[in-house]
Structure 1
Amino acid sequence: MNKEILNPEEHPFLAEHPDIAQMNPHERLAEQSGVVLRFGRLLLSAGASSYRVKSSMARMARAVGIEEHRASVSFSDIATSAYANGTFRTELYENRVFGVNANRIDKLKQLSHELRVDQSVEELNQRLDEIENEGPLYGPVANALASGIACAGFCFLNQGGFVECGAVLFAATMGQALRRLVLHRHFNHFAVWLLCGILASSLYIGVVEMLELVGLTTADIHQAGIISAILFLIPGFPMVTAILDLVRMDFPSTLTRTSYVVAVMASAGVAVWAVTYAFGWNVHMMLPYHLPWPLLITLRFLCSFIAAWGFAILFNTPWKVCAVAATIGASVNTLRTIAVDSGFPWHAAVGLAAFTIGLLAAAVAARTYYSRVSLSVPAVVIMIPGVPFYQAVTNMNNGLVLEAMSHVVQVLFVITAIGFGLAVARMVTDTRWIVDQPTSRVPELNPSRHYIR
């Protein structure tokens, strides 16, 4: 191993840090590469896309003095190679945290844009300590209620009535409470989605059957609402980031994220089928309601707002970002429903709505440290067709193959429209997406060695 000491005359920054100057190149590169990998690890475990992880690590690598940095990122792994001072270092990291933390993504984005050349590893590690040690923004009660309220709003948008929305509110609240409890104990995600799907759908059936026993309603006309009770299990964040990674032709990340999305949604779908089969329920489309047009549009706006707000809270988004994302989502989604009612093709309306949301999110992100994904995902997740997907699983298990395939096609078209709408908006507003170039290529950083806290 090369034991040559770094020369302060060749590296002026080292003259101010004699302890660092006494390190050999391998030791110093180990520290530099370590803090860069830690930065990427925090982003990946918070749910960031592969592009954001790689580009942010490249910025930090330049800030700490690494001459060249290469990274391969999937949903579950990071592999990096760093070159500096005539030597190199390769490191691997296995990600086992598949959650979403929009607040952490925003904080790390802010740090990425505040990076300056010749920053010390020590001060950056201290900043990362502050971000990593920050706990959830919302407690378990607020988190669970946000899930229930969001799914109740989603239920109305899916033609649900008062009984369905009320039962969904209770069932989804308890389901999310269980999910948070077991995920914090590091349970397997597929088992978690299965257990929470069984609990939420069972509670929905229990509420509706109880209302029938006391003579307040007839259970048969509310059976389809059970699917809205588990819509909090839709993995909206990895679904959107998988499509964005696909547009960037980052296939390892796309495949791993898509596999995760399909697996956990299948687990929830099997849970619904098992419960409905055990209780003899028939999941069919709910009958459309007939309300005065002004009242209908107002309720659609309000339900879209609370659904987007609730999902934003589940993503651990600060309340100001929740408000912006919910306003964007409610406004655009309401216009989308009006267009569909007027005969505009459903999938085209979803694509245009996602494109508009992407533009609005980009406009807000350009003036703040909020990330586009924190603003756009809660706004578009209310358009993800969770109901057709779970109906497809139910129909498949019941042997209704043609009906199942019909629902699968609907789901694929809508998800594709959402993803490509956001991707085109990103291309329009970011030249790094319209011109293909390595993510390791970053603009020059500010030469000042002082960064903004």
Structure 2
Amino acid sequence: MYADTQNDITRQVVRVAQLLLAYGADSDLVEEISQRLGSALGLASVEISISSNSLVLTSLVHGRCITTTRRIREHGINMAIVCELQRICLLTEKGIYGLYEVRKRVARIEPKTYSAKYLVPMIGLSCASFCHLFGGDFSACLITFFASAVGMLVRLFIAKHHFNLLLNFSVTAFITTLIAQTGLLFDLSDTPKLPLAASVLMLVPGFPMINAISDMVKGHLNVGISRWGHATLLTLSSVIGITMAMQISGHFL
């Protein structure tokens, strides 16, 4: 294998690993896909080291090593992209894709997001459903729907302007909790406290916490602890926003 070919393959493998990490794949999956894709494209071996915000990948062919480093910038959870990268790896292993096809497919990958006009009411409906499961009456479910829907609008607006994610969660929790307290302040429901709990469930960082535990169990302690810390900070930011809103109204759960 020529040096230029090894360089090209290494760039594509590290790009795939970079995208997997950026869009929420756990570290074990990143290692597996990188090694399988590199092997399918002709590399003798692929060694990868993952940290909280970067990765280092080394490829080996006929005793010649190439090492490259990439910085990881999180783009949010997107399992569609993770699945597409796995599909590219599988088709490469079957011999359907070569280096050119892999490069072309990876370059075409773009995150697809739902429109706000669909996302906002669905978030409101899901939180209202939780309120119903908790035993809330119709008024409580209605309050939860509006509180979480408005909160999601605020969250999307802040994200669109690229503010810090911790600030985003704190402000969203604050506004959502303020609206959720209307049932308690104006005696609109027989279960007025349930909207306070149900409307902020959209802010629970469940996926990062699951990934953190998965990484730590599988031996990637540094990445797992980093992800756990990030999820904890998001939770703390939400708690700060909720507490501030409750202090303003003078009501506590």
TM-score above 0.5: yes
Name the counterpart of 1:240. 210
Structure 2 distance, partners of 1:30, 1:84, is 11
What is the aligned counterpart of 2:28 among 30, 33, 51?
51
Q: Are residues 1:179 and 2:155 paired?
A: yes
- The residue identity in structure 1 corresponding to 2:91 is E
Structure 1 distance, partners of 2:5, 2:94, is 16
Task: Indicate conservation of the 8 Å contact 1:29/1:88, yes or no.
Answer: no
Name the counterpart of 2:107. 129
- Cα displacement string for residues 41-65 of structure 1 (whole angstroms, at most 9, x for unaligned residues): 2211221111111111111111221
SS in 2 for 1:28: helix
Name the counterpart of 2:192. 222
Name the counterpart of 1:277. 247
Task: Indicate conservation of the 8 Å contact 2:131/2:140, yes or no.
Answer: yes
Task: Indicate conservation of the 8 Å contact 1:64/1:117, yes or no.
Answer: no
* Runs of 4+ in structure 1 over 4 Å off: none
What is the aligned counterpart of 1:115 among 92, 95, 109?
92
What is the aligned counterpart of 1:103 among 77, 80, 89?
80
SS in 1 for 2:68: strand
Name the counterpart of 2:7. 30
Structure 1 distance, partners of 2:117, 2:193, is 27
- Cα displacement string for residues 330-379 of structure 1 (whole angstroms, at most 9, x for unaligned residues): xxxxxxxxxxxxxxxxxxxxxxxxxxxxxxxxxxxxxxxxxxxxxxxxxx
What is the aligned counterpart of 2:17 among 15, 36, 40?
40
- Tell me the TM-score normalized by structure 1: 0.52
Task: Indicate conservation of the 8 Å contact 1:63/1:116, yes or no.
Answer: yes
| Rg larger for | 1
Q: Are residues 1:265 and 2:242 paired?
A: no
How many residue pairs end up in the alignment? 252
- Cα displacement string for residues 152-193 of structure 1 (whole angstroms, at most 9, x for unaligned residues): 112223333322221111111121222223324432111111
Name the counterpart of 2:167. 191
SS in 1 for 2:76: coil
Structure 1 distance, partners of 2:163, 2:7, is 33
- The residue identity in structure 2 corresponding to 1:281 is H
CA RMSD, Structure 1 to Structure 2 (Å): 2.1
Structure 1 distance, partners of 2:149, 2:234, is 19
- The residue identity in structure 2 corresponding to 1:126 is K
Structure 1 distance, partners of 2:231, 2:75, is 11
Structure 1 distance, partners of 2:56, 2:161, is 27
Displacement of 1:85 in angstroms is: 3.8
- What are the within-5 Å matches in structure 2 for residues 371-382 of structure 1? none
Task: Indicate conservation of the 8 Å contact 1:148/1:171, yes or no.
Answer: yes
- The residue identity in structure 1 corresponding to 2:103 is N
Displacement of 1:259 in angstroms is: 0.5
Structure 2 distance, partners of 1:52, 1:240, is 14
SS in 2 for 1:222: coil
Displacement of 1:231 in angstroms is: 0.8
Structure 1 distance, partners of 2:49, 2:153, is 35
- Cα displacement string for residues 166-221 of structure 1 (whole angstroms, at most 9, x for unaligned residues): 11111111212222233244321111111111121112224654x54xxx447xx5
Structure 1 distance, partners of 2:161, 2:71, is 19
- What are the within-5 Å matches in structure 2 for residues 29-428 of structure 1? 29-116=6-93, 120-130=98-108, 132-136=109-113, 138-206=114-182, 209=185, 211-212=186-187, 216-217=188-189, 221-283=191-253
- Cα displacement string for residues 95-127 of structure 1 (whole angstroms, at most 9, x for unaligned residues): 222511122122222222222377533210111
Displacement of 1:134 in angstroms is: 4.9
